[in-house]
A and B are shown apart, each in its own frame.
Chain A
Amino acid sequence: MKNDGTHKVKKGVLGVFMNLILWIFSLSCIFPIIWMIYSSLKEKRVFNADIISLPKEPTLVNYIRILTNSDYHLGESMWNSARTTILSIAMIVVFSFIVGYILSRVRFKLNRVLYVMFLMGMLIPIHSLLVPIYIVFQRCGISNKWFTLLLPYVSFGLPMGIFLVEGYVKTIPVSLEEAASIDGSSFTHTLWTIIFPICKPILVTVAIIQVFSCWNEFSFALVLIKDVSLQTVPLALTQFKGQFASDYPKQMAAMLITMAPIVVLYFAFSKQIIKGMVAGAVKG
């Protein structure tokens, strides 16, 4: 039929167009990493002379310098960052789930108050709180410890997680909990065995987003950590900055080394992650 023909052409053109746009976008997103990789293979002066072109003589000198210089305690800092990040993510996911669910489902007096309180946590520019947090933590004797950073990371990561969970939970029909309750399931039982699995997609999303936030976080680490042995990765990376001459290729090499674990994990598990994010619809 006549309609089918033009319809097919339209679909064809639309398809090409959409694919093209997406490819341009995705490539532009991946370009920075590629640029960082080949730039880290340049020496400082070569880089400064020409920022964008491929290195004529790629060299691993930056990497060697970083890995052999004991001043750059990258290994230790990566361990600190890993421990902090993993613990923070675990707590953020669990707490976001609990609080997000409760705020969404349960009627109680402080519901609105808590909601606004967590919202407020998102509105504060971090730098304004640096000095007050330092003072508070210092007076309580909890600054510069291995667990110090967990507190701000979790606390500042909660609002976002809570809102995402809350919004998601609203799409789950209440009938589910009611049915479970009729079957004799307690609140706790329902929460963890029924609701928690359903919320997997959004929780995976929250986790992914927070992993990078925690790993890359800098300001609180700067202010709350003094011992070199407790430094996280972003802090350790500042050792690569001189006052007047930035060695960008070396900084990039360092950044790549420290990003590598997460990036590798991200790409290795991307299939599972995406699956997790788009996991099953709630069939009514």
Chain B
Amino acid sequence: MKKRQVISTVLATAMVASLGMTASAATEVAANELAYKGELEIMHYSTSEESEGNGGSDGFRTVLAAWDEAHPDITLTQNVLANAEYKTQIATLAAAGDLPDVFLLQGMNTIAWADQGLIMDLTDTIAASPYAADYNEAYFTPFKTADGKIYGYPALTGGTCTVVIYDKAMWAEAGYDAFPTTWADVEAASEKFNEQGITTVAFGNGGKWQANSDFLSTLGNRYTGPEWFQSLINKGGAAFTDEAFVKALTEMQRLFTETSIFNEDFNAVTNEDAREYYISGDAAAFIGGNWDWSYIYATLKDSDEEKFANMGIAVLPQPADATEAPTSQNIGLGYAIAINPNLAEDPDKLAAAIDLAQEITGPAFASYVAENYALGGLTKVADVDLSAFDQQTQDFYNWSYVDTETCEIYDSCINSAVWDILNTDMQTMMNGEMDPATVAQNAQDAYVANY
């Protein structure tokens, strides 16, 4: 299942405990005068467990609480479920046409739900937002329909879904000062690592989505360039069966079936298990998303100072026959605050909901997560003071937001039906039991049938 929209969970350099202080930034929510008095319901998945591992979630909950306090006449009812249950529940509610007042919308559902009138068109509202000038425009992509209408305020924090975490010491020994920039070099290094009985790169695709979000999404971009995916979103003529994409699939299959770079059990273990391989030293590197980075960061900081100091990050290596964007990584926000169109009947309530949406994604939130976690959300914050954070966090911040090229995350957009089929097929393909052309064709058929 797609949990990804990791973006929300992001980086959470969460273990801010590392800073020795718990998040203490002032949450100054703009206490706007609201005429509405009554109940407002919001549904989300930032459980307290979630917020412990995740700066974005923590920020979300904190700002929500502050907003609640700032408006004593409004009863804010929060319906909080863990992510997997949230998705089941929201799907049921959508099917029954019974969505709550305010909720988190997943990117890939935008177009379908907009068609059915389940979410409100917020294009004008967003343009009129007091913070509009500071909004990071790129984040709106998954929540737009073909005609450019926007249906949500991208929420929580943005982080990468494909980062290579490697142990500098181990790779230096193998002869590389920095992580190799091409797969050919990784293969060469893998020979040395295999002799020592160490896995070169750990990866976990047990949940089927990891291969898509944490690997293909970036690898694909290296072959097709960003226009291809954009065209796919806009139904502009691109297809999964296009040569460049099939080449990406082929390379992916080659890497997992013909080289001995990865751990044997990549299809059976999840990213959570695979990152433990890295932590324990059984693997020299690991590929995952920002949530994995946060976990590894927090774990190593507490348990293994040396390994912590040796933690390095890099972009996905470039395949030999790829031609585009060698330093790209996929990053974005997977969920947005959406509003139920029924609220249009009560202008005061609608105003309250809009205010809520603006504040949860606005500067109060942004400065909270920036100051406590070095994370970024929808609203840009000027001059983030990184000096309070350790080197690792600073490096990751720069890597995520400054130094690399970005590309879209595949499963934030289009349609869950398509990705479900592609992910299942990919798992089989990575075992060598299905060929890339068939995978591409099945995905294309699903795309045509469902999008």
Are A and B interaction partners? yes
Most chain B CB neighbours (cut-off 10 Å) among A49, A242, A250: A242
User: Which A residue sits closest to B51, measured CB to CB?
Assistant: A242
- From 122 to 161 in chain A, residues with beta carbon under 8 angstroms from any chain B beta carbon are 130-131, 134-135, 138
- CB of A241 within 8 A of chain B? yes
Q: A243-B83, A244-B291 are in contact. Are A134 and B92 (CB under 8 A)?
A: yes
Question: Are B49 and A239 in contact, CB atoms less than 8 angstroms apart?
Answer: yes
Q: A130-B92, A222-B88, A223-B89 are in contact. Are A243 and B48 (CB under 8 A)?
A: no
Question: Are A239 and B47 in contact, CB atoms less than 8 angstroms apart?
Answer: yes
- CB of B295 within 8 A of chain A? yes
Give CA–CA (A222, B48) in the complex, Å: 18
- What A residues does B83 contact at CB under 8 A? 241-243
Number of interface residues of A (CB under 8 A): 27
Number of interface residues of B (CB under 8 A): 38
- From 90 to 107 in chain B, residues with beta carbon under 8 angstroms from any chain A beta carbon are 92-93, 95-96, 98
- What B residues does A213 contact at CB under 8 A? none
- CB of A76 within 8 A of chain B? no
- What A residues does B272 contact at CB under 8 A? 48, 244-246
Give CA–CA (A70, B292) in the complex, Å: 28
Give CA–CA (A69, B6) in the complex, Å: 26
- CB of B302 within 8 A of chain A? yes
Give CA–CA (A54, B44) in the complex, Å: 37
Give CA–CA (A209, B93) in the complex, Å: 32
- CB of B54 within 8 A of chain A? yes
- What A residues does B3 contact at CB under 8 A? 243-244
Contact with A along B66-91 (1 / 0, CB 8 A): 00000000000001111111001100
Give CA–CA (A242, B98) in the complex, Å: 26
Give CA–CA (A69, B49) in the complex, Å: 11
- What B residues does A217 contact at CB under 8 A? none
- CB of B369 within 8 A of chain A? no
CB distance from A248 to the nearest CB of B (A): 10
- What A residues does B280 contact at CB under 8 A? 49
Question: Are A245 and B53 in contact, CB atoms less than 8 angstroms apart?
Answer: yes
CB distance from B380 to the nearest CB of A (A): 25
Contact with B along A236-272 (1 / 0, CB 8 A): 0011111111110010000000000000000000000
Give CA–CA (A226, B89) in the complex, Å: 10
B48, B81, B289, B302: the one contacting A45 at CB < 8 Å is B302
Question: Are A245 and B47 in contact, CB atoms less than 8 angstroms apart?
Answer: no
Question: Are B291 and A243 in contact, CB atoms less than 8 angstroms apart?
Answer: yes
User: Which A residue sits closest to B6, measured CB to CB?
Assistant: A244
- CB of A71 within 8 A of chain B? yes
Most chain B CB neighbours (cut-off 10 Å) among A48, A138, A235, A245: A245
Question: Are A71 and B47 in contact, CB atoms less than 8 angstroms apart?
Answer: yes
Give CA–CA (A45, B296) in the complex, Å: 11
CB distance from A49 to the nearest CB of B (A): 6
Question: Are B85 and A222 in contact, CB atoms less than 8 angstroms apart?
Answer: yes
User: Which B residue sits closest to A127, measured CB to CB?
Assistant: B88
Give CA–CA (A71, B52) in the complex, Å: 13
Question: Are B295 and A245 in contact, CB atoms less than 8 angstroms apart?
Answer: yes
CB distance from A232 to the nearest CB of B (A): 13
Q: A71-B47, A138-B96 are in contact. Are A243 and B82 (CB under 8 A)?
A: yes
Give CA–CA (A137, B55) in the complex, Å: 38
- What B residues does A131 contact at CB under 8 A? 92, 95-96
Give CA–CA (A222, B295) in the complex, Å: 29
- What A residues does B84 contact at CB under 8 A? 241
Give CA–CA (A238, B93) in the complex, Å: 19
Give CA–CA (A45, B302) in the complex, Å: 10
Q: A48-B276, A49-B279, A226-B79 are in contact. Are A241 and B47 (CB under 8 A)?
A: yes
- What A residues does B80 contact at CB under 8 A? 239
CB distance from B250 to the nearest CB of A (A): 30
Question: Are B292 and A242 in contact, CB atoms less than 8 angstroms apart?
Answer: no
- CB of B299 within 8 A of chain A? yes
- What B residues does A239 contact at CB under 8 A? 47-49, 80, 82
Contact with B along A47-90 (1 / 0, CB 8 A): 01100000000000000000001011000000000000000000
Question: Are A238 and B81 in contact, CB atoms less than 8 angstroms apart?
Answer: yes
User: Which A residue sits closest to B79, measured CB to CB?
Assistant: A226
CB distance from A176 to the nearest CB of B (A): 49
CB distance from A249 to the nearest CB of B (A): 12
User: Which B residue sits closest to A69, measured CB to CB?
Assistant: B48
- From 35 to 53 in chain B, residues with beta carbon under 8 angstroms from any chain A beta carbon are 45, 47-50, 52-53
Most chain B CB neighbours (cut-off 10 Å) among A69, A138, A239, A243: A243
Question: Are A242 and B303 in contact, CB atoms less than 8 angstroms apart?
Answer: no
Contact with A along B96-125 (1 / 0, CB 8 A): 101000000000000000000000000000
Question: Are B279 and A243 in contact, CB atoms less than 8 angstroms apart?
Answer: no
Question: Are B54 and A242 in contact, CB atoms less than 8 angstroms apart?
Answer: yes
Give CA–CA (A96, B312) in the complex, Å: 64
User: Which B residue sits closest to A133, measured CB to CB?
Assistant: B92
- What A residues does B93 contact at CB under 8 A? 134
Question: Are A243 and B85 in contact, CB atoms less than 8 angstroms apart?
Answer: no
CB distance from B214 to the nearest CB of A (A): 11
Question: Are A242 and B276 in contact, CB atoms less than 8 angstroms apart?
Answer: no
Question: Are A238 and B291 in contact, CB atoms less than 8 angstroms apart?
Answer: no
Give CA–CA (A130, B52) in the complex, Å: 31
CB distance from B206 to the nearest CB of A (A): 12
Question: Are B53 and A238 in contact, CB atoms less than 8 angstroms apart?
Answer: no
Question: Are B82 and A238 in contact, CB atoms less than 8 angstroms apart?
Answer: yes
- What A residues does B199 contact at CB under 8 A? none
A138, A222, A240: the one contacting B89 at CB < 8 Å is A222
Question: Are B89 and A243 in contact, CB atoms less than 8 angstroms apart?
Answer: no
Give CA–CA (A107, B326) in the complex, Å: 79
Question: Are B92 and A238 in contact, CB atoms less than 8 angstroms apart?
Answer: no
User: Which B residue sits closest to A251, measured CB to CB?
Assistant: B49
- What A residues does B6 contact at CB under 8 A? 243-244
* Cβ contacts A to B, 20 pairs, < 8 Å: A45-B303, A49-B280, A131-B95, A134-B96, A135-B95, A226-B79, A238-B81, A239-B49, A239-B80, A241-B47, A241-B85, A242-B9, A242-B82, A243-B45, A243-B82, A244-B272, A245-B291, A245-B295, A246-B272, A247-B49
Other than the given A226-B79, A244-B289, 10 more pairs (CB < 8 A) read: A49-B280, A131-B92, A131-B95, A135-B96, A222-B89, A223-B89, A242-B47, A243-B8, A243-B45, A243-B291
A interface residues with partner B (beta carbon < 8 Å): 45, 48-49, 69, 71-72, 130-131, 134-135, 138, 222-223, 226, 228, 235, 238-247, 250
B interface residues with partner A (beta carbon < 8 Å): 3, 6, 8-9, 45, 47-50, 52-54, 79-85, 88-89, 92-93, 95-96, 98, 271-272, 276, 279-280, 289, 291-292, 295, 299, 302-303
Query: Which 5 A/B pairs are nearest by Cβ-Cβ distance?
Result: A244-B291, A241-B82, A243-B83, A238-B82, A71-B48
